[in-house]
């Protein structure tokens, strides 16, 4: 399971149920907002039909959770044991009487309701088209929180699916530690002493269970070839245990329920670089580097572009490594050119050059000279890839200056005349050519990097239809591991992760550049401790990117999250905490927060 970090916990979102998940249906369910659709609450809950997937999660006698195949089948269908012995958290939106989740003004906070140590996951075949996955905990391996615990821990989505999240192990242990302080205080969410006993037992065994989960995940990684391929087609899954008599599907409970058979093993198809004309990646070492730094999915995407498109567009947050990846695709410096796009480019002359009115010669740019070099190699039967990298491709509208290249590069290798561009003038100055034409070699590949902010322009369908876009993303922990910042302890890493999770959609992500700056400070400056260096780097390269406008309703949740972050880490990151406090005061005073 290379897409899950070994040793961490998993989590998923559930409905915010009114009755404590004891198997009962909410009173006046139609008016209670649990996050399920209004029509569902009207047609099923209000009519006494217990089809809700989540009402049995903390049921005293037989707790279990149901997840739709659409949400988790991508993982469990090829590998049904993937969740066994893993720690699984359940969280949902904050709710209160009498209406449930509030729809007013801002998005409500997420609350953690409880957790499982997963014992078994089994498919429940409802009919030919519908399968549910039933998740059951160990008898001593489930608990609810006495009070819904505000979800302030860092989590991230798992590549490949839309339902499961990955949650940092240390953050979970810290959360249980804080929640344990409230155990002795009576609360209506707990029916009696058994709730407290279960929580104490879960908390006490959590470190041991995490180690078991780690060992299982490591073992599973060795058995899984790829996430979507069944690793063991010889397994024969017989009938599952019968669905509880309190089935969440009421009138469907008498249908035949049987285990779904795993799909037949699929043949793993990996494009061979040697068989691809003009590949984007020439060496196995580069492939392995991309797979290690980003993911196998990103590597597969680049290989597919080698087969299908002539233009690769890399997008992602600033500092994620778009330019570095583009430059490393080909090692030979003589066969690649970097072209910085200018914001003032309005015609092909900005890219190719212009006709000198004095001598009627065409004055070429480095781009045109590189096209000529690629053409000469092609004429000599050198079929190696030549690569042109456009930096900030959408800083100006590409159709203004790239249209000729865009069109000519689409013709087949044999259509030489159609791949020619007439430049004008009697000759090209400095190049040994007949006339003033340039040839777009079939071995030319184009790679472009783009950003999405107020300084750039959107790409038109004309460009998108001829290109493939790959979005790059790096988690802070991966960045720190790549740069071998081993001096940081777990608490410092978590402070970076959680701040990144809060600010990444406000352009305040922790980038490769920020990590590199932190590494230089740690290695070269005589600063008291790493916390002080981290404090300054987060101010200069993360918080400085954030803009907050007065009246934006999303600011409420963000500032609450930042204040919680300050409470957890402000003791060591005092300057960051002070700036966040200043932001809060500025917004209350009606002033925008604009970091220059």
Q: Helix crossing, 169-179 with 490-503: angle to 10°?
A: 90
pLDDT at 248 over 60: no
For residue 69, the model assigns a pLDDT of 83
Residue linked to tokens 């300054």 = 536
pLDDT at 52 over 70: yes
For residue 68, the model assigns a pLDDT of 84
User: For the segment 400-447, what is each residue's pLDDT rounded down to a tens digit?
Assistant: 899 899 889 989 888 989 999 999 999 999 998 888 999 999 999 999
- Provide the 10 A C-beta neighbour count for residue 543: 20
pLDDT at 327 over 70: yes
CATH fold label, 274-472:
Rossmann fold (3.40.50)
Torsion angle of the four alpha carbons 223, 227, 230, 232, in this order, in degrees rounded to the nearest 10: 10
DSSP 13-81: E----TT-SSSPPPTTGGG-BSSS-HHHIIIIITTT----TTTTTT-SSS--EEEEHHHHHHHHTT-TT
For residue 272, the model assigns a pLDDT of 44
Report the predicted TM-score, pTM, of the whole model to 2 decimal places: 0.69
Residue linked to tokens 């499961």 = 164
Assess contact for 85 and 213: CB atoms under 8 A. yes
DSSP 367-417: HHHHHHHHHHHHHTT----EEEEEETTTSS-HHHHHHHHHHHTTS-TT-TG
For residue 478, the model assigns a pLDDT of 84
> Over pLDDT 90: what percentage of the chain?
37
For residue 595, the model assigns a pLDDT of 66
For residue 230, the model assigns a pLDDT of 41
For residue 79, the model assigns a pLDDT of 82
For residue 108, the model assigns a pLDDT of 60
User: For the segment 514-530, what is each residue's pLDDT rounded down to a tens digit?
Assistant: 999 999 998 888 766 89
Residue linked to tokens 């990117």 = 545
Q: How far apart are CA 293 and CA 275, in angstroms?
A: 25
For residue 250, the model assigns a pLDDT of 42
For residue 427, the model assigns a pLDDT of 93
For residue 223, the model assigns a pLDDT of 65
Which is higher by pLDDT, 453 or 564?
A: 564
pLDDT at 246 over 60: no
Triad 223, 229, 234: Cα angle to 5°: 70
Q: Average pLDDT, stretch 13-39?
A: 81
Categorize the per-residue pLDDT at 462 as very low, low, confident or very high, splitting at 50, 70 and 90.
Answer: confident
Assess contact for 239 and 253: CB atoms under 8 A. no
User: For the segment 30-41, what is each residue's pLDDT rounded down to a tens digit?
Assistant: 888 888 888 888
pLDDT at 255 over 80: no
Assess contact for 169 and 143: CB atoms under 8 A. no
Alpha helices in 224-295 (DSSP H): 284-293
Q: Average pLDDT, stretch 284-304?
A: 89
* Residue 202: its H or E element: helix 193-223
- Provide the 10 A C-beta neighbour count for residue 189: 14
DSSP 420-438: EEE--SSEETTS--SSSEE
Q: Lowest-pLDDT range, 5-14, 179-188, 244-253, 549-558? A: 244-253
Q: How far apart are CA 232 and CA 80, in angstroms?
A: 11
Residue linked to tokens 């044991």 = 81
Domain ranges of the chain: 9-252, 274-472, 476-594
User: For the segment 96-143, what is each residue's pLDDT rounded down to a tens digit?
Assistant: 777 888 765 455 677 888 999 999 999 988 887 788 899 999 999 999
């Amino acid at each position: 399971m290379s897409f899950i970090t070994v040793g961490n916990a998993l989590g998923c979102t559930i409905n915010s149920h009114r009755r404590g998940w004891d198997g009962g249906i909410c009173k006046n369910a139609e008016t209670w907002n649990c996050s399920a659709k209004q029509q569902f609450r009207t047609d099923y809950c209000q009519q006494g039909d217990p089809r809700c997937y989540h009402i049995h999660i903390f049921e005293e006698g037989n707790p279990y959770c149901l997840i739709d195949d659409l949400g988790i089948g991508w993982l469990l269908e090829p590998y049904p044991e993937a969740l066994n012995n893993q720690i699984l958290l359940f969280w949902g939106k904050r709710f209160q009487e009498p209406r449930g989740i509030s729809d007013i003004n801002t998005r409500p906070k997420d609350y953690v309701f409880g957790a499982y140590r997963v014992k078994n996951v089994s498919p429940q075949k409802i009919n030919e088209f519908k399968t549910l996955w039933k998740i059951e905990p160990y008898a001593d391996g489930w608990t609810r929180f006495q009070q819904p615990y505000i979800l302030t821990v860092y989590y991230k989505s798992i590549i490949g699916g839309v339902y499961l999240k990955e949650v940092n192990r240390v953050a979970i242990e810290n959360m249980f530690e804080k929640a344990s302080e409230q155990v002795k205080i009576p609360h209506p969410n707990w029916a009696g002493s058994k709730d407290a006993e279960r929580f104490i037992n879960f908390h006490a065994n959590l470190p041991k269970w995490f180690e078991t989960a780690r060992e299982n995940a490591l073992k599973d990684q060795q058995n899984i070839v790829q996430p979507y391929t069944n690793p063991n087609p010889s397994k024969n899954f017989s009938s599952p245990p019968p669905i509880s008599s309190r089935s969440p599907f009421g009138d469907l409970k008498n249908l035949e329920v049987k285990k779904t058979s795993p799909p037949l093993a699929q043949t793993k198809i990996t494009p061979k670089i040697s068989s691809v004309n003009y590949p984007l990646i020439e060496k196995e070492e580069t492939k392995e580097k991309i797979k290690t730094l980003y993911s196998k999915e990103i590597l597969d995407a680049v290989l597919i572009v080698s087969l299908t498109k002539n233009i690769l567009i890399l997008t992602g947050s600033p500092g994620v490594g778009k330019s570095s990846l583009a430059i490393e695709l080909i090692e030979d410096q003589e066969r690649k050119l970097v072209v910085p796009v200018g914001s003032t480019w309005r015609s092909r002359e900005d890219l190719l050059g212009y006709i000198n009115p004095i001598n009627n010669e065409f004055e070429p740019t480095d781009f045109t000279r590189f096209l000529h070099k690629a053409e000469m190699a092609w004429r000599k039967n050198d079929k190696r890839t030549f690569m042109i990298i456009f930096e900030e491709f959408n800083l100006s509208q590409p159709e203004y200056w790239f249209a000729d290249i865009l069109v000519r590069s689409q013709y087949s290798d044999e259509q030489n005349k159609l791949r020619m561009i007439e430049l004008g003038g009697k000759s090209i100055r400095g190049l040994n050519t007949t006339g003033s034409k340039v040839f777009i070699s079939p071995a030319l590949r184009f790679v472009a990097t783009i950003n999405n902010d107020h300084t750039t322009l959107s790409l038109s369908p004309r460009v998108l239809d001829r290109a493939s876009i790959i979005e790059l993303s790096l988690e802070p922990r991966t960045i720190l591991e790549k740069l071998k910042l081993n001096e940081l302890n777990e608490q410092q890493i978590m402070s970076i992760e959680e701040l990144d999770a809060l600010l990444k959609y406000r352009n305040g992500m922790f980038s490769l550049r920020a990590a590199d700056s932190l590494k230089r400070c740690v290695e070269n400056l005589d600063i008291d401790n790493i916390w002080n260096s981290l404090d300054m780097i987060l101010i200069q390269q993360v918080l400085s990117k954030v803009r907050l406008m007065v009246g934006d309703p999303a600011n409420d949740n963000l500032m609450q999250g930042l204040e919680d972050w300050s409470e957890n880490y402000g003791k060591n990151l005092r300057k960051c905490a002070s700036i966040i406090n200043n932001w809060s005061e500025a917004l209350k005073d009606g002033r925008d927060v604009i970091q220059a």
